Amino acid sequence: MKISILNGSPKQKKSTSELLVNYALSQLGNNNDVKIYNIGKDILSENQYKVIAESEAILFVFPLYIDSIPSDLLRLLIRFEEKKLFHKNIMIYCIINNGFYEGQQNSIAIEQMKNWCMSAGSTWGQAIGIGAGEMLPFIADVPLGYGPNKNLGNAINQLAFNLLNRKKGADILVSPNWPRILWKIQSSLIFWYPRAKQNNLKIRDIAKKSKIK
Ligand SMILES: Cc1cc2nc3c(=O)[nH]c(=O)nc-3n(C[C@H](O)[C@H](O)[C@H](O)COP(=O)(O)O)c2cc1C
């Protein structure tokens, strides 16, 4: 089966989307022709557009940006639509991850992808929305389907099964199997505060609200 996986994270270094691509690959088996494209890093050639449009299934893996789709990926989706290369035999699947704890945050982006799929003339398969995306690299040593990766593992398993069988499935919105309050404290201490410091911000700057005049 010809499968294209499009990683839509704009991050140049390691991203949660890259980890999720690897999780998806681990569930897709070795008997398929899988090609991976990094939208945030590479510019697609005309030939690559055509090769992607020959896929039987396309899996978009990307982060949520302002409740929506990152701009590099959005630009690409518009180009796909303009080129009119897609057709109803291409099944579309998505794995979206976001920063807040709740996977529910991805609902709007999932609807946007469904609308795009309809205008591009392809067939909608299924989407997974995953909360606390920045936590996933910290628990990458835990096997999928176990402990904090239990919900995520089950969701990726279902999506991979549907993709390989070209079936549709209901949206799955998950958060890690980890207490929300614990992740709030941990993420502040090990992720957001150090990230603020790297960007010359003080902790109190994070809480500042911009004033709209
Ligand atoms: C510009 C920007 C906008 C974002 N908007 C949201 C948002 O609306 N909701 C949310 O939950 N997370 C938001 N995030 C957090 C990312 O979705 C989150 O960090 C994600 O895990 C990054 O995935 P990646 O490593 O695959 O790029 C935003 C991050 C950035 C940089």
Per-residue pLDDT of 111-142, as tens digits, reads 999 999 999 999 999 999 999 999 999 999 99
CB atoms within 10 A of CB 114: 14
Residue 59 has pLDDT above 80, yes or no: yes
Cα 71 to averaged position of ligand 1 atoms, centre (Å): 12
Token pair of 185, please?
């404290």
State the pLDDT at residue 13: 85
Q: What percent of the chain has pLDDT over 70?
A: 98
CB atoms within 10 A of CB 138: 16
Q: Kindly state if the Cβ of 38 falls inside 6 Å of ligand 1.
A: no
Report the pLDDT averaged over residues 134-151.
Answer: 96
Cα 82 to averaged position of ligand 1 atoms, centre (Å): 27
| Residue reference for tokens 């807040």 | 100
Cβ atoms of residues 183 and 100 within 8 Å: no
Residue nearest to atom 23 of ligand 1 (CA): 63
Cβ atoms of residues 97 and 16 within 8 Å: yes
User: Which atom of ligand 1 is the closest one to the Cα of 14?
Assistant: 25
Q: Kindly state if the Cβ of 133 falls inside 6 Å of ligand 1.
A: yes
Confidence of residue 190 (pLDDT cuts 50, 70, 90): confident
State the pLDDT at residue 210: 67
Q: Kindly state if the Cβ of 181 falls inside 6 Å of ligand 1.
A: no
| Structural domains of the chain, with CATH | 2-178 (3.40.50.360), 179-213 (no CATH)
Q: Rounded CA gap, 91 and 161, in Å?
A: 13
Report the pLDDT averaged over residues 60-71.
Answer: 97
Q: Rounded CA gap, 95 and 161, in Å?
A: 14
Report the pLDDT averaged over residues 97-115.
Answer: 97
Cα 127 to averaged position of ligand 1 atoms, centre (Å): 17
User: Which atom of ligand 1 is the closest one to the Cα of 17?
Assistant: 26
Report the pLDDT averaged over residues 32-39.
Answer: 95
First to last CA, the chain: 54
Mean pLDDT across the chain? 94
Q: What percent of the chain has pLDDT over 90?
A: 84
Report the pLDDT averaged over residues 156-166.
Answer: 98
Candidate from 64, 106, 108 with most ligand 1 atoms within 8 A of CB, to mutate: 64
Token pair of 79, please?
């180009």
| Residue reference for tokens 């088996």 | 29
State the pLDDT at residue 40: 85
Residue nearest to atom 19 of ligand 1 (CA): 99
